[in-house]
Structure 1
Amino acid sequence: MLTGKGTSPAKLKQLLGRYKTTKKTQTGLLELAELCSTVTDMAVFYPQLQAIIRRYFPAKNLYIQQFTQGNQLQADHYYVDELNCSPIEQQLTPDVVEFITSIAKPVLINHDTVSIWEPDSSIVERPFPKRQKHTHLVDVWLAAPLLIDDVIIGIIGIKGFINQNKQTAVNLELIRFIARIIAAAIHRNKASELLKMYSKDVADIVFAKTQHLQKSNLSLRQQVEQKRKSELKLYYDAHHDALTKLPNRAMFTDRLEHAIKHIKRHPNHRFAVLFIDIDRFKVINDTLGHHVGDLLLIEIAKRILECIRGNDILSRLGGDEFVVLLDSLAHNDDAEDIAGRVIETIKAPFELEGNNLYTSASVGIAICDHKYQSATEVLRDADAAMYQAKSMGRGRLMFYDESMREELLCNLNLEQQLHKAIINDEFSLLYQPICELQSKKVIGYEALLRWQHPEHKQMTPDAFLQIAEDSGLIIDIEHRLMQQVAEQLEQWQAQQENLFVSINLSGKHLQHNKQTRALIKLIRDKLVEPENLIIEFNEKAFNEQAKQTLQNLKLLQQTGVRLALDNYGSGLSSLNYLNNYPFKLIKLDQQFVRSFVNNDKNLQLAKSLVSLGQSFGFNLVAEGLENKRQWQKAIDAGCQFGQGYYLGQPKLLNDKQDDDIDHCA
């Protein structure tokens, strides 16, 4: 027999039963602990908890009441028994819940008696403290609070618990331990859910931030790209002509500077610059409008591009000026050939807006070598050559040489002296008689401009008139002379002398409305008898802006002055001037007049002009009469009036001696 002395079989069986129960309970607690440490999903936890409770513990159910907010008694309820594992309505009465949460200890509630587990493992029994009279405890509950860090998050209990072994302390310890494990599981679940929620929030934030960052990056890339495009456009606009899309002055100058630096390193290298100016462009632009002028410039640019090589650079400097950088020239003849092609291609007519337009180009060529230090110097010399070509008759080319530079410096110096001459009032008038040819009676005078230069003494207009015209100083000069003429006419009027004064003015007075108005104001302010003033213009005054100059000429006529066409017979001498222009005098060019002696055709032509004058209302004045024979031929031609050395030399009106006068009109 295996039993010890004094140990009955029944006692041994009882001990063995307790051992098995304890071992079973410990196994269940271990599985329960493992469950709580591995499972975080409560939807999985509760069914597995149900299985462990059924297998290992002396309970048929487990009620879990989980507070939603800490010690707040609002709760979620869950019930586990042999058949169910699902949410349930609240099972514990409010008095029971409030009692357990108030003491925060495991309890065994047996109707009206409660056994409480104390931290020293002792058991205290006491009546259940009823707070409401209608409370009636009909169930037995083995319950314990769910504690996390001394905070009650709920209650667990076994409903209808039967304390078969009367081991209240052991059962309270067991429910306390189960409560701790379940509380830990709930805590882990909440922590996991919170982590998931935080993770989701973080993921959402990261996603939102990532999306925002991607959008920001896209926007930034678009801004960078837009800025890059804007910068490229700004650079393009800053270096190209808006009309022709050709490189502009800034870009051409930069390329030219590079070419100059290159030639410094490679002395055998050769390049040239063509300076191209479109002849009579202003006439086309003013006559047909800026739109047609712009179209013409675009077409000219296209034609020039066809004449140059791929490595050459064509640029529009502005207005009607183009320049070409001819790189890698083998010989100067290459530059001449290209310039010749440019001139020829521009000669061909342009069909624009229903108009066939004809123009030409004047080209200056500067061959560049190591002597040049800057782009400005090259452009200056090419420009000088172009002006020389234009002065030689337009539609031609000219190479630059040093003599042009000297001439330009001389002209610049002369222009500066003209400025000083205006300030110092160095201009004066000589008066040459105009006579009635038959009687040689003086009927008036032509006022001839002279410059009393402090170094060169008296200078005729031939020496400075073109510079004065080009610089625009001629307007100021002639305004001062007009005041002198007005004073002379006023003096004659006071002396009751019936004489007129004729003065030759620049066409610039007619080409600009402002200048015309200023001249008209001077006449009205200074002249009492404007019919005693004759204003002469030569044919060149009407070559440009013909319509505008004719309109202004007619406005000038309305002041009462008489008008004369000077040097008729020296140029094209169109009959249009005789028919449509309000001239009262036609002054025949002196070379034309002197040809009467040996050229009967010209003599007959002059007689025809006399007949036209009788029909159109003008008289002829023969200029440059130097001897009796010329005077007689002018009479034979039918000229009414004349002037020249034969009839009287230019002189100051108060000067009786004219021996020092050595210039004819």
Structure 2
Amino acid sequence: MRSVDECSVNKLRKQNKRLKELLQKYKHQHHLQHALIGLSEQASTHPDLNSFYPAIRQLLADYVPSKNFYVVLQNSSSGLLELSYFVDQKDALSHPELIEQHFEQSLTGYVFRSQATTYFNSATMAAAAAEGKFKLHGTRSEHWLGVPIYQDTQVIGVMVSQSYEQELGYSQEQIELFEVIALYLAAAIERVKKRELLERQVEQRTLALTQSNHALNEEITQRKKAQERQQTLFQISELATQAINIDDVYYHVHQIMKSITYAENLYIALYDSDKNWLTFPYAVDESDPEFSPRPFAKGYSELVLTSKKCQLISRKRGDQLCEQGLVERTRALTSTGRCTSWLGAPLKTAQGVIGLIACQAYNNKYEFVQEDVELIAYVSNQIANVLQNHLSQQALRQSHQQLELRVAEKTKELRQANIHLQLQIDERRKIEQQLYHDAHHDALTGLPNRSLFIAQLERTMAHYQHLPEQNFAVLFIDLDKFKEINDQLGHQFGDQFLIAVATKLKQCVREHDLIARLGGDEFVVLLSRLQDKQQAEDVAKRIIAVMQQPFCYQGSCIQGGASIGITFSNAGYSHIDEVIRDADAAMYYAKQSGKGRFEFYHPLLNYAEEQAHSHSEHHLMDLHTHFQSSQVFDAEQQPICQLLSAYGEHPVLGSTSFEQLKRFSSDSYILAEVELKLLQYGFAEHNNQGLTLLKCSTGLLEDEHFKSLYSWISLLDNIEHLCLLFDEAELSYASAKLLHNLDGLSQSGVYIGLNNFAQERCELGLLAQFPYYCVLLSNNFSRRLVQEPSYALMLQGILALTKEANCKLITKNPSSPAERSKLEGMGIEYFIGQRSPLAQQKQLSQFTSLTSLVS
């Protein structure tokens, strides 16, 4: 007996537990429903957002800890997050996040970006901040809850509640209720904004009414009419946004008309101008329940369509219209079906009159007046636009159905053609995407290129000037022994090595840091949001470590290395050139100090650099130089001009191009003087062989050197044999003054050309800036022309501009006849080739000293 009682008790306990769970569930549902009803009531009763937000906070306080509550919305114009409402127990509106509007980096911005509800306690909040997901501002709360605010499917803001009491957290039911309120908050805010706008208009109108006591009653009446009309327009505008069928639209239009005038008998007629036919898609009439389609005749409806105006027709005017022959009645009038008052308005859209809407009263039940005419005229255009929109959507759906039928009939015949067309579209889209990517990234490694790096560095410097506590650093990286790798293992191995270097560098930095390839074996890393120099040093150590790991490709293995120069942000920097210059100087110091290491820039480096450069100048001045001549041939293998390249015999580097030797000198003035003397010497020795192409730098266009250059050119008897080549990279960053001097050089009669075009970028606008005699493609671009289709597409744009300007496009002679044939097929007609061995030997025997040139 006792066992039975225990079983009954246990059973009752289980039932009681289940009932409590159900009660808790129903209670939670009741809270959700009550909160939504409360939200709707608040949106309907509060005239503005200033009173609406506190009411929402008070509503939430019944269910959720919300003493600390704020709402952030995205500005539709600027795209920034802005504070809409804020109340907090500890922090006022003056704490940093609210003053500087850094919501994008805060917890609030994190919720906005993730578009998901986020709940943190103090421990999880600190851990997430340490991971760099966001930055903490203001007083730390014990519990923090953020929910995204949606408008349709787009997040437009964040609603936040936080608690400073450890025991006062948020349960799952409270979070769910908070999410439900946020889900409908955007719509409620829009309703309050509309009401606030309406109230503002009413207040303005009321203010005007108080200024004229004489017209007070009339103005009050007008205000009521304006409110009614505004409400009517709101109802009509809601029809335009609701996804309902056309029959429901007609019904709602009828209900709207009933709210502004007598509309117990109403019909809507649509006019087909092509068929001259009237149809009646909607009609409610106590005398004639059926309105059949009919041809255009002489009824009241036709009078509205013909005049394109509202028509108010009383019984008397109807008889007059019949007597005048403007209206013809098609049936006899009965005592019960006598229309005593008729009102019609045309439905006008941007495409013209599409029909009319008409109301009529029988047996003197109502007499339409001029006020009714004004009202129906006021809303008819809006109704017409709504009907036109829904009719267009209906016609579009019908058209889609017909189109689907036609497509289904032709599918068997067009399937293969569609597949082929889709393949072409996909290929073109890929090419377009690749072209866009190539304009901002290095073609070989896929890293950002120089232009993207410079743009990001400018933004980082501007941000640092605004917030000096957020430091940055630039790491200038030069690969050790890369030239030996290329010379010994070939350019293909070197390319693969560069690709592997890019991958290794990505492993050493954070996700938001930037790695770019400047060209050749030079890379840069932009580190932002740094606290101290140690962070930059840690990155440099990681890079040096990974660069010391062996790299293997096709059975060959090498061990590379990297020399790194680091410059850290400081207030003394006013331009990005200074940052890059100092990082480059630190890199050269690291390389000269033994390679495979990093060095921070320090002002003391300037002194050491001056000493080293003074020694370098001494060796540069004593170097012997010679010129190497290369013929330029056309498609018929006929020489059209010669390209001269200056080389110096360096005691350590051996025979080295003058472009490489310039890197060992920092005195731009002496370099320009030496370069001008080289031009004079090279042209004097070789101009008798026809048109001569000579490379030079934009330093000769500086005012202190341009006068000497211009004077020398003015004294030449055979100026038509001279063509000066300037690097695309230098002209891209040349000042307006330098470009002006270059234009003066061109006007003087000397030929000018572009050298190393498309080495790192492909600025087509530069081709149209001056009347170039020739454009020399870079070796890198020429090599990739035969490898990657996207480069061939870029070539078409270059060819179009050069042919239009009658400019010769020249490339280096490829290594094989097959590659040359392919380049000729792409449209290239001019190639650089070596002269005969005998001529080269003669050139190599002609040495001169730079010291004698300068003297």
Q: Which has the higher contact order (CA 8 A, sep 6+)?
A: 1
**TM-score when scaled to structure 2?**
0.30
Q: Give the greater-gyration-radius structure (CA).
A: 1
